[in-house]
Structure 1
């Protein structure tokens, strides 16, 4: 018998091979079927009792609107008095009307805590919660957080209510199935399905962390839950992106990990209590990183340090925050969220890059809500030295700050720096947003008050091999770092 004859497969072996292949294909299809459920009916039946419709009513006083102004003694004065006297009167002496709005929400505890959006119940005089079984209960506001658009309500009931739990929104991955439930366009309870389209979206808020989904979300869905397939809430449906006002498959739900922290504080305190570091910051761009000699463009660049926790810990303008409480900081958005989510009064380690070296500062956080109206730190006054009155560089016309310019710019007597009096619109400085009236207070992370001082900083940057120089520019008291190229000079 030849070797070729011995290696040839028998009909029996071929049959076994085909059977194994068939079984493998069937298993693959079964796995795919598990990932793509044929129906959400069982899950919908489980979660529906905890989802609610919310109706609000607001009394709008007609007297609050504009009324005709008639000069005293005018021949029309008596006519308008008679007209007002004939108008129907409300309890307050002015005719009023009721305005209503619809939204959604969900129950998170058997004793009646309900989560919704702040914009659903804002300025409402009456709030009514309708449950899936048709029961309705009046609700009172426990607390609201406009920054995340979250509100916590409570209804009074003698029986245990069905409720849902928050899930971990950090585990929601792009492509995962999600379900949105609520009261779209006032049509009553409705379920829509889709996937997670994107994560960590920011719209306009300081603490934004939205899950983007193509599950249909329309007006009236606001405040309703976004569920994963385990029946856990991973988001609160808040906004849509649409040129028509209807769903086009771009909806946004505030991530549950953000909502849960807010809800816990609202339940405990009736308000939020966020950590406060006490700095003004901006992102580290590539040109800023090069101007500062940083190896990579990451972290949060401190532009100002008003009186507060960071100032007491020794932080300075020009520091780059690289780590906060053991977590690396990639950009300003991440730092703001981590600080806001940290307990008020906690002492944390903050690692900064200062003039090319790292330093560790211990900062005891304050409370942001208390410090919201804090006044920015004033600039240290520097003794003005004699020198030229005007200089053109970087496409800018620059003059030292004097009493006349102080009056024009409305800055205090302690302010110091160099005033931009004109900007070439073809210059890099103009492209980066520098405008006439801006005040340059630092160059190369050192304070400047004279043109000679600015020239010294430029010379130091060139000697260090820098391609650009970092300027701290203030406009109406607001600081911002700008990196301008040296090769243009």
Structure 2
């Protein structure tokens, strides 16, 4: 069979997290007799969260034990988006105050906004494992990471917060468990392994990519969006967000937003009501040892600046983009631009490292970029970072 065109795969990937109001209208009581067919696509700050839970599970992977201990902390979210229809997704309680993490595309109209203002759900409900519901309110959302924070009143329902882990420690092959509500089937468990780490994936909610995503083969489907991805100790290492599929259902290629990214969004949304990101204004591509040998670069690895956007911090600082290109082994390589090998104290071995390094910085910071000009001459360029544009 011929593979499906990439455009088809991308569209299907964007469907995770919502199911049509044709199903939701009668099943959830969000509508009063009417149904609408709407598909919903799917300076670093540190703080101590307030989870009442601790990772009590052992290192042995026991899905039944994970489910028994953590499912009470996972909720199904029903969002009334007004004229944009309804959506259904998942979420999980992270503290005794009723704070819930989920995906931004579950609780906003971003899928239907089409360049217009993104607004949150008019009404939002969290349904717990015992099928009791509580009204929820939106604290805020971060479209860049596709993370949203909502809250329920602890007086409305007993809470079972789940502990947050460390997504940076995830390794390929380790077992994982996803709990959520695929196709509105509440509190469903699926298991698999980490297929890859540090994936850079297209965001469903902004024009910027999400870096550090965790790829999994645990089956996740529409409605799993916003649900937790647990490691073997029952700690959340990611928020299930996307699938890549040619059929619209799970095909073993799912992606979770790393919990380290979600934690950053949570902290800033609670403190400031918004999330800020540093911005450089460059497009880069990987340099490998083979390319370095081919073009005589003085470093075997790094990030080659392909383009510098006009008027950005990179342009103002004097970073240089490519002036010509060549094709090597089927790969188009931009040449003539700076080769970034270090940002501040962080070594840069590829384009993904640039994104990750900048993610840890703050707007307004002045940061030294160590580059090889023309691939050979070492220079340090001070770049004053701006805030990422919407």
Tell me which structure has the larger Cα radius of gyration. 1
Structural RMSD (CA): 2.5
| 1:111-122 equivalence runs, <5 A | 111-122=97-108
1-structure distance, mates of 2:136, 2:357: 33
The correspondence of residues 137-216 of structure 1 with structure 2, limited to 5 A, is 137-158=134-155, 161-205=159-203, 206-216=209-219
> What SS does the corresponding residue of 2:171 show, helix, strand or coil?
coil
Alignment of 1:134 onto 2:131: yes
Higher helix fraction (1 or 2): 1
Aligned to 1:360: 380
Q: What are the Cα deviations for residues 281-306 of structure 1, in whole angstroms up to 9, with x where unaligned?
A: 44447668744644535323253263
Against the structure 1 CA distance between its residues 262 and 305, is the aligned structure 2 distance closer, same or farther, given a 3 Å change threshold? same
2:243 maps to 240
SS at match of 2:81: strand
Equivalence for 1:320:
339
What is the distance in 1 between the residues matched to 2:312 and 2:246? 43
Aligned match of 1:485: none
TM-score by length of 2: 0.69
Task: Specify whether residues 135 and 36 from structure 1 end up closer, same or farther in structure 2 by C-alpha distance, changes over 3 A only.
Answer: same
Change in CA separation of 1:278 and 1:132 when aligned onto 2, cut-off 3 Å: same
Q: Matches of residues 223-238 of structure 1 in structure 2 within 5 Å?
A: 223-238=226-241
Residue number in structure 1 paired with 2:18: none
1:276 aligns with 2:279: yes
d(CA) in 1 for partners of 2:261, 2:165: 11
Equivalence for 2:361:
342
**In 2 relative to 1, CA 329–224 (structure 1 residues): closer, same or farther, beyond 3 Å?**
same
* Count of residue correspondences: 299
Is contact 2:59–2:233 with CA below 8 Å preserved after alignment? no
Instruction: Verify the 8 A CA contact 1:300 1:330 in the aligned structure 2.
Output: no
TM-score under structure 1 length normalisation: 0.56
Cα distance, 1:207 vs structure 2: 2.3
Note the alpha carbon deviations across 1:94-119, whole angstroms, 9 max, x for none.
Answer: xxxxx332110001121111111111
Partner of residue 330, structure 2? none
Give yes or no for contact 1:104–1:220 (8 Å, CA) kept in 2: yes
Unaligned runs of 5+ residues in structure 2 are 1-57, 110-120, 204-208, 322-336
Of structures 1 and 2, the one with the larger relative CO (CA 8 A, separation 6+) is: 2
Q: Hey, what's the Cα distance between the residues in 1 that align with 2:254 and 2:307?
A: 35
> Where do 5+ consecutive residues of structure 1 fail to align?
1-33, 62-98, 373-489
**1:274, 1:344 within 8 Å by CA — same for their partners in 2?**
yes
Report the secondary structure of 1:140's partner residue: strand
Instruction: Name the SS for the 1:203 alignment partner.
Output: strand
In structure 2, distance between residues paired with 1:264 and 1:35: 28
Question: Does the CA-based 8 Å contact 1:289-1:297 persist in structure 2?
Answer: no
SS in 1 for 2:71: helix
**Partners of 2:320 and 2:215 in 1: CA distance:** 37
**Per-residue Cα deviation, 1:234-275 (whole angstroms, up to 9, x for no partner):** 111111222222223222111212221222222222222001
C-alpha distance in structure 2 between counterparts of 1:180 and 1:224, whole Å: 7
